[in-house]
């Protein structure tokens, strides 16, 4: 080999697909199939009830069971999920946050029942609760207690499961919520500092063990389409993390200061228009985090080409896996050292990002750190603002998205042509089956042991015992996810995070279309005798609020009165708010696939209050076939992610309200 080549090839990264749906048994079959195709790790998706601490039969779980992941209610489910999959040999990533201690306890208990030595288990918990208040919305408890629970999971893992990553600080969802590279860097590092400071304050690890805590911190990043910038972002992460570990936490061992991260490439940029183009986007985004040897991802999971349409099928997941395998095993990428070391272009961009992120991080630390910047709404407002600017740039053409706002004409895709659904759907019957399974489980367990375990859980928390230790006893006793969470809810309460919409001021657009919309809203306001009032509601457990936030900001900026109470509302609450607020139109945002259950339920609750004719507009990934199936006359319009022109959406909402009030907008004032 020449001097420029490595003595040995770099090892390929872990190859995963983020998956799980319907039931533990169905997901087990999917995992075993993917592993047989060459996948080298598991990345488990849990359904929204599990992520937010509800059992499948809780009213909040209605329409959500098994839709976006696997329901995980008890130890029996966890054992079924890993049937014939040796947990001692598997590297498992679990996307779970608020109830991370509980899911970790179920996992460890199931592994012990497989006779695995838990000290040898390898894998990762997401467990980054702070970003949930900013993006995904699957938080449960107030930030302070959530941080304590995360710190206890980390402390337990470092002492008992030393090869496990007990948290990955997750910037992925920050970018999905509109974060710029600088915000990704600063917000994520602020979160990591808050976590480490909490572990130190908790005192469940010694000073001698603390460098090992730092060494087990991992990150989960997002790679967007600007792959040079994304590559430099990762290199900046590497530099800044090393600096923080050394200067703030005095970790001397370079191995323990290593920036260790996994990646999923950007799903925000995937399009349901010309969806075949998404394959190119996925490949280019992956290159940004594997080409640079100095900061190469050690775990990669790719979305499927059709994720903007719905859940990927087995074949779609296989295609994403093959994209990774071709790059890792057919090309010579892993035979060479860092291809970009010494590049003045890369060095300059890295320097710019590092300096800007350092300044933003310092600003957050001066506020009191990440928790304070979440509670005062600062970080959420910045994300909503950045996302609004991004969408505005797409709408006005400053940012090109091929097939969406430019080069839109083309042939129909043979991948979707003639197909009503080019993606996986989860039958609504799954929910009834899972409720039946759960109820049968409750019937056969020892109720006295369950109560005893829950009492011990609450007493253990009061006494300061580690949450994982007391939760493992609950797992053995047959406690369910909802029961575990309810015990802690009773002790600590719940929390509603700032929406980021209130008080946000965006630069006024100067283009003609914006002025036209403002004038049209003024005209209708005059005809109505008061301001057009829109209620934006997110029924169910879907916490992805980006679209709802952008509609709220835009509606207010063009002169509408906006009622937006954030995520996780029941249909009953939405209908009651509509009545009490006297709104003219309701906008429902649902991205979890539960629209066929939740929209009819909202409609039913409105009818009970005499509001059956109140116009409804829907936002989300909602196929036309589902709209026909629901057959709700009050639903006047459905907007998909491809409908990025917010001025046009506002214009059409004005027309919908005018029609509902028999106002002809062509008439004079």
Catalytic residue among 131, 173, 520, 584: 173
DSSP state of 126: -
- Nearest residue to 594 (alpha-carbon basis) of 21, 19, 65, 59: 65
The tokens describing 115, both together, are 């006779």
For residue 260, what are the CA distances in angstroms to 124, 297, 300, 405, 546? 12, 8, 12, 37, 28
Tokens of 263: 């990646």
Tell me how crowded residue 96 is: count the other CB atoms within 10 A of its CB: 23
Catalytic (active site) residue 62: no
Tokens at 504, concatenated: 């946000």
Alpha-carbon distance of 645 to 514, in angstroms, equals 11
How far apart are alpha carbons 446 and 441 in whole angstroms?
10
Q: Comparing C-alpha atoms, which of 624, 627, 623, 613 is closest to residue 660? A: 613
* Alpha-carbon separation of residue 177 from 189, 306, 381, 550, 584 (angstroms): 17, 20, 11, 10, 28
Among 377, 293, 402, 281, which Cα is nearest to 341's? 293
172 annotated active-site? yes
Judge contact between 6 and 296, C-beta under 8 A: no
Strand bridging mode 299-301 / 42-45: unpaired
Rounded distance, CA 222 to CA 503, Å? 28
Cα 105 from Cα 163, distance rounded (Å): 16
Choose the catalytic residue: 58, 67, 131, 544: 544
- The catalytic residue among 156, 172, 261, 639 is 172
Q: What's the token pair of residue 76?
A: 């029996």
CA distance 155 to 114: 24
Q: Which is catalytic among the residues 58, 349, 538, 554?
A: 538
Cα–Cα–Cα angle for 484, 69, 108, nearest 5°? 50
Give the Cα separation of 413 and 400 in Å (integer).
20
Q: Which of 55, 238, 272, 542 is catalytic?
A: 542
Three-class SS state of 586: strand
The alpha carbon torsion through 55, 59, 63, 65 (nearest 10 deg) reads 0
Active site residue 542: yes
Q: Which two tokens stand for residue 21?
A: 């749906």
**To 10 degrees, the CA torsion angle through 552, 555, 559, 560?**
-80
Identify whether 544 is a catalytic site residue: yes
Q: Which run of H or of E encompasses 617?
A: strand 616-619
State yes or no: is 156 an active-site residue.
no
Q: Which of 18, 107, 261, 564 is catalytic?
A: 18
Could you confirm whether 378 is annotated as catalytic?
no
Angle (CA) 201-205-211 rounded to 5° is 95
Distance, in Å, from the CA atom of 373 to the CA atom of 534, rounded to the nearest integer, reads 29
Owner of token pair 């090892």 = 11
CA-closest candidate to residue 549, choices 406, 426, 385, 400:
385
Q: How far apart are CA 149 and CA 395, in angstroms?
A: 42
CA nearest to 472, candidates 158, 151, 78: 78
Active site positions, annotated: 18, 172-173, 538, 542, 544
């Amino acid at each position: 080999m020449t001097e420029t080549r490595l003595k040995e090839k770099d090892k390929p990264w872990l190859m995963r697909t983020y998956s799980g749906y319907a039931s533990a048994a169905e997901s087990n079959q999917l995992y075993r199939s993917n592993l047989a195709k060459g996948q080298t790790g598991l990345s488990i998706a849990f359904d929204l009830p599990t992520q937010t601490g509800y059992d499948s039969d809780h009213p909040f779980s209605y329409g959500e069971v098994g839709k976006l992941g696997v329901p995980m209610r008890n130890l029996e489910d966890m054992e079924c999920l890993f049937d014939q999959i040796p947990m001692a040999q598997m590297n498992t990533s679990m996307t779970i946050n608020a109830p991370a201690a509980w899911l970790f306890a179920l996992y460890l208990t199931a592994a012990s029942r497989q006779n695995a030595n838990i000290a040898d288990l390898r894998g990762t918990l997401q467990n980054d609760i702070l970003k949930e208040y900013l993006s995904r919305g699957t938080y449960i408890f107030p930030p302070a207690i959530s941080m304590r629970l995360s710190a206890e999971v980390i402390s337990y893992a470092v002492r008992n499961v030393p090869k496990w990553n007990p948290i990955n600080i997750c910037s992925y969802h920050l970018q999905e919520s509109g974060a710029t590279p600088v915000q990704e860097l600063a917000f994520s590092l602020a979160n990591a500092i808050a976590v480490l400071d909490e572990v130190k304050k908790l005192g469940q690890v010694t000073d001698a063990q603390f460098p090992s805590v730092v060494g087990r911190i991992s990150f989960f990043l997002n790679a967007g389409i600007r792959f040079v910038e994304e590559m430099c972002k990762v290199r900046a992460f590497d530099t800044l993390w090393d600096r923080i570990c050394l200067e703030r936490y005095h970790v001397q061992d370079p191995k323990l200061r290593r920036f260790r991260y996994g990646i999923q490439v950007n799903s925000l940029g995937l399009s349901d228009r010309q969806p075949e183009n998404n394959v190119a986007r996925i490949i280019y985004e992956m290159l940004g985090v594997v080409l640079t040897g100095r900061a190469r991802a050690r775990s990669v999971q790719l979305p499927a080409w059709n994720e903007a349409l719905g859940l990927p099928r087995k074949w779609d997941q296989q295609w994403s896996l093959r994209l990774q395998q071709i790059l890792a095993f057919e090309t010579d990428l892993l035979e060479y050292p860092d291809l970009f070391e010494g590049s003045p272009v890369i060095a300059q961009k890295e320097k710019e990002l590092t300096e800007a992120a350092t300044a933003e991080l310092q600003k957050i630390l001066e506020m009191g750190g990440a928790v304070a910047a979440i509670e005062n709404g600062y970080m959420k407002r910045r994300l909503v603002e950045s996302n609004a600017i991004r969408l505005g740039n797409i709408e006005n053409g400053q940012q090109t998205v091929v097939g969406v706002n430019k080069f839109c004409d083309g042939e129909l895709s043979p991948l979707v042509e003639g197909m009503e659904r080019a993606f996986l759907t989860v039958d609504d019957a799954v929910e009834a089956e899972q409720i039946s399974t759960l109820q049968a489980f409750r019937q056969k367990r020892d109720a006295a042991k369950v109560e005893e375990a829950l009492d011990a859980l609450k007493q253990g928390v009061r006494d300061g015992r580690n949450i994982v230790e007391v939760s493992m006893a609950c797992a053995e006793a047959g406690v369910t996810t909802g029961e575990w969470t309810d015990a802690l809810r009773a002790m600590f309460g719940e929390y509603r995070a700032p929406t980021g919409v209130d008080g946000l001021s965006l630069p006024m657009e100067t283009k003609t279309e914006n002025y036209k919309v403002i004038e049209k809203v003024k005209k209708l306001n005059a005809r109505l005798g008061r301001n057009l009032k829109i209620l934006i509601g997110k029924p169910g457990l879907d916490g992805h609020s980006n679209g709802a936030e952008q509609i709220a900001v835009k509606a207010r900026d063009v002169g509408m009165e906006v009622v937006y109470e954030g995520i996780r509302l029941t249909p009953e609450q939405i209908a009651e708010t509509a009545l009490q607020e006297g709104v003219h139109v309701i906008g429902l945002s649902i991205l979890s696939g539960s629209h066929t259950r939740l929209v009819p339920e909202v409609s039913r609750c409105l009818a009970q209050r005499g509001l059956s004719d109140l116009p409804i507009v829907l936002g989300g990934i909602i196929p036309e076939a589902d709209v026909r199936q629901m057959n709700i006359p009050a639903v006047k319009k459905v907007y998909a992610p491809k409908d990025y022109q917010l001025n046009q959406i506002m214009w059409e909402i004005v027309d919908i309200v005018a029609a509902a009030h028999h106002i002809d907008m062509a008439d004079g004032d």
